Structure 1
Amino acid sequence: MPELSQRVGNFTDSVIRRMTRISNQYGAINLSQGFPDFDPPKEIMDALAKAAYEGPHQYSITYGAQNFREALAAKQGKAIHRIIDPNTEIVVTCGGTEAMMCAMMTICNPGDKVMVFSPFYENYGADAILSGAEPIYIPLVPPEYEFDIRLVEQGFRDGAKAIIVCNPSNPCGKVFREEELVAIGKLAVQYDAFVVTDEVYEHMVYAPNRHICMASLPGMYGHTITCNSLSKTYSITGWRLGYLIGPAYVIEAAKKVHDFLTVGAAAPLQEAATVGLKYSEDYYEKLLETYTEKRNYFLAGLDRIGLKHNVPQGTYFVLIDISEFLELPQFRGFTDLEFCEWMIKEIGVAAVPGSSFFREEVNNLIRLHFAREKETLDEALGRLEKLKELK
């Protein structure tokens, strides 16, 4: 048989999406893959219904419909503290996943190095490999998920072309402090490198933490490529609407990569989602209130059950420590993946094994999410109560 590309042997399929498939097979409550079980805002759904009859139905401009890019520029310009040119500084992509892949392929040559904080969203390592780059992993050390800035400097000194910063961070919920971002940014400028940010959870940052766009820091716009998505902010993960924002010379190149990757995002979905991009600040304040309540409610439920967990500063993910269960005779020798598969079948709740997020040898963590209606969270917590019987 003809040989396949060597690069596809260097990573697995998405463990997150695999857990969803297993969850569906056994009818479990899916707290693995991070998507809500409630509808998008009514105004966006009404706009989609209108677009279904009135269009547009054909290709938009490959790098994004004009009105969609203009709305994006207006919204994100407030966060980045500058006027964003919708024609030269934005590329609309098929989800945040393509945004990151597009960014990596735009800046990386085969053999380049890219730093990735660990734990990390599983796509980052694969993105680096697919773009021909070598990932360098920088540990985020629990329980606070701090990092050693000296390791970042060493990575740049060793020739890293870029560093990926997920802020807030999936899966651990870390929100990078201003002094941390400033320190990373200074090194990127010093070594003439890029910071590629993933900011899809920008509106899910819990007090007293606050989200700061790397591109908003002094001198950083020219060194930052911001990847983002509408998926989580408007509960439209299936619409696959993402984007890149960056300096014009980067975006000009990214347009070409994007054009030949996917041509363009869905035109009627861009038309409908434009409504959401024009929401006032009230929408984002209420969104944060909603997720703050969900976080507090779910963590309190985990505490009642006696499950050890971190307290996420942002996102809607929480890491659970399963060490005490893996010490029980019936689970001795289990991997975290095997424990998650057992949970789906026997407990009826789907989680993601932590090992899929860490470069380090980690077998004692699983990730759950709380982007669910209260009734769903209640049912999930009720099923997780069964874990008490094992202690």
Structure 2
Amino acid sequence: MNFPIANRIADLRPSDIRLMTKECERLGGINLGQGLGDLQTPPLVRDGAINAILEGRNTYTPSEGVTPLRLAIAEKLKRDNGLDVDPEKEIIISSGTTGAFAATLTALLNPGDGVLILEPYYGYHLNTILLQGLEPQFLTLSPPEFTLAEAALNAAVRPNTRAMVLCTPANPSGKMFSDAELAIVERVAEQHNLLVISDEIYEYITYDDRRHVSPASVGRLGERTVSIMGFSKTFSITGWRLGYAVAKASLANAINLVNDLLYVCAPAPLQYGVAAGLQAPPEYFQNLRAEYQRKRDIICEGLNDAGLTPLVPQGAYYVLANISHLGFPDAKTAAISLLEQTGVACVPGGSFYQGGGGENLIRFCFAKDDATLREAVVRLRKFRS
């Protein structure tokens, strides 16, 4: 018997990221496609979770998260993001940043509402918008700077646009939005009464002494912003699925209602682990930035040597490379050819665009141990010959 599938998933397609991972596994290659970071989890975080398990902290928690973690997040937000937040009413712990994003969309928007996303975008943002019955709307930012212009942003807003999504530092481009660009967002959002959803999962992975700026800290943006943050990248615990949303109390209350229905609560002992991690000294975060900057420089040098032109990222741990001069008909063909020739997997740029703007780009993830990254660079150099 054939049962019909739901209309809400009719427009969803498997990600090219998953496709390239499968092809890489089939060929026994090095996967620089999917963001599968393999750095070690800090002992402070690991032992915090283990101790919580041994202490029996294995039952349901409040849907908004355990108090020690929300208190630690509030301190972190004040110290690092310039945000003064009530830990009891304005912080919701969820199942990863993707979980916080889904709960936010469900709680604050209605089917048919327009959500503006910036190209190149993170694919899970788009697919979650589609799954919620929302209308994705796009504004393309041009490489290599991906500058946000006020006139273009204003022109992209339609009558049914109710929200816009920012990702800073951005996946896949590594773009970090400046104070001036965020001031543009503030003016346009206020003019059109838009909700701003800010994904800041890579906030501690920034380069060349750049300062991460949380949109909610700019002007009056905090009144209309849901800041979505997490621990996966900062503590190398992508499989733990822990993130959180920060918003004014009325918005946070609605998000928590949906968070409870979707996830009940985030994993109890893991919450205590990241609460311990947030007590790490400043040197931990400084060393994290320095380590990733070294890895960025390794991959960018290797791409240049291979005849691929890197768009050097300002943050996050991905790099886009320009392949327009290589003569491939599209990015997927280029990515497959690269994998077959060198055994190194990347992701075609079309995965991050709706309008075909990514066909001259491929994306690499450099969240790898140094030995793996250097071997990938050796292999990539063969692509030129």
Provide the TM-score with structure 2 as the length reference: 0.95
Displacement of 1:50: 2.2
Letter in 2 for 1:341: I
Query: Offset of 1:139 from its aligned partner?
Result: 0.7
**Deviation digits for residues 324-343 of structure 1, max 9, x if unmatched?**
4444xxxxx5x422432343
Q: Secondary structure at the match of 1:84?
A: coil
* Distance of 2:352 and 2:331 partners within structure 1: 12
SS of corresponding position for 1:10: coil
The separation in 2 between residues aligned to 1:266 and 1:228, in whole angstroms, is 17
In 2: Cα distance, 1:78 partner to 1:313 partner? 22
**Higher deviation after alignment, 278-287 or 257-266:** 278-287
- Give me the whole-angstrom Cα distance separating, in 2, the residues matched to 1:155 and 1:248: 29
State the partner residue of 2:379.
383
Q: Deviations over 1:336-366 (max 9, x none)?
A: 2243234334421111111010122132211
* SS of structure 1 residue aligned to 2:137: strand
What percentage of residue pairs aligned between the two structures are identical?
Answer: 35
Give how far 1:166 is off.
0.4
What is the CA distance between 1:5 and its match in structure 2? 2.1
Deviates more, 1:32-41 or 1:107-116: 32-41
Residue 212 of structure 1 aligns with an amino acid whose one-letter code is V
Give the corresponding residue for 2:344: 349
Tell me, in whole angstroms, the C-alpha distance in 2 between the residues paired with 1:116 and 1:343.
29
Following TM superposition, by how much is the alpha carbon of 1:208 offset from its aligned partner in structure 2, in angstroms? 4.8
Residue in 1 that maps onto 2:70: 69
Verify: 1:339 aligned to 2:340, yes or no: no
Shift of 1:301: 2.1
- CA deviations over 1:133-186 (Å, ceiling 9, x no partner): 111100111121123322322343523111100011110111111110011112
Query: In 1, distance between residues paired with 2:133 and 2:79?
Result: 35
d(CA) in 1 for partners of 2:231 and 2:353?
26
Q: Note the residue ranges of structure 1 that are not aligned, 5 or more in a row.
A: 328-332
Letter aligned with residue 347 of structure 1: T
Name the stretch that deviates more: 37-46 or 75-84. Answer: 75-84
Kept after mapping to 2: 8 A contact 1:310/1:319: yes
CA RMSD of aligned residues (A): 1.7
Q: What is the match of residue 373 of structure 1? A: 369
Q: Distance in 2 between matches of 1:163 and 1:5?
A: 26
Distance 1:30 1:54 in 2: 38
Aligned partner of residue 103 in structure 1, secondary structure: helix
CA contact (8 A) 1:317 1:369 kept: yes
CA distance in structure 2 between the aligned counterparts of 1:296 and 1:223, rounded to whole angstroms: 37
> In 2, Cα distance between the equivalents of 1:151 and 1:158?
15
The answer as to whether partners of 2:338 and 2:345 remain within 8 angstroms in 1 is: yes
Question: 1:254-333 counterparts in 2 under 5 A?
Answer: 254-327=255-328, 333=329
- Give the stretch that moved more between structures: 47-56 or 184-193: 47-56
Residue 196 of structure 1, CA deviation:
0.4
Distance in 2 of aligned mates of 1:340 and 1:307: 12
Equivalent pair of 1:138/1:147 in contact (CA under 8 Å): no
Please state if 1:363 is matched with 2:364: no
Where do residues 40-189 of structure 1 align in structure 2 (5 Å cutoff)?
40-156=41-157, 158-189=159-190
Matching residue's letter, 1:360: G
User: Gapped runs of 5+ residues in structure 2?
Assistant: none
- In the alignment, is the contact (CA less than 8 A) between 2:39 and 2:236 conserved in 1? yes
Q: Which residue is 1:330 aligned to?
A: none
| Partner-residue secondary structure (3-state), 2:87 | coil
Conserved in 2, the CA contact under 8 Å of 1:79 and 1:216? no
SS of equivalent residue, structure 1 residue 243: strand
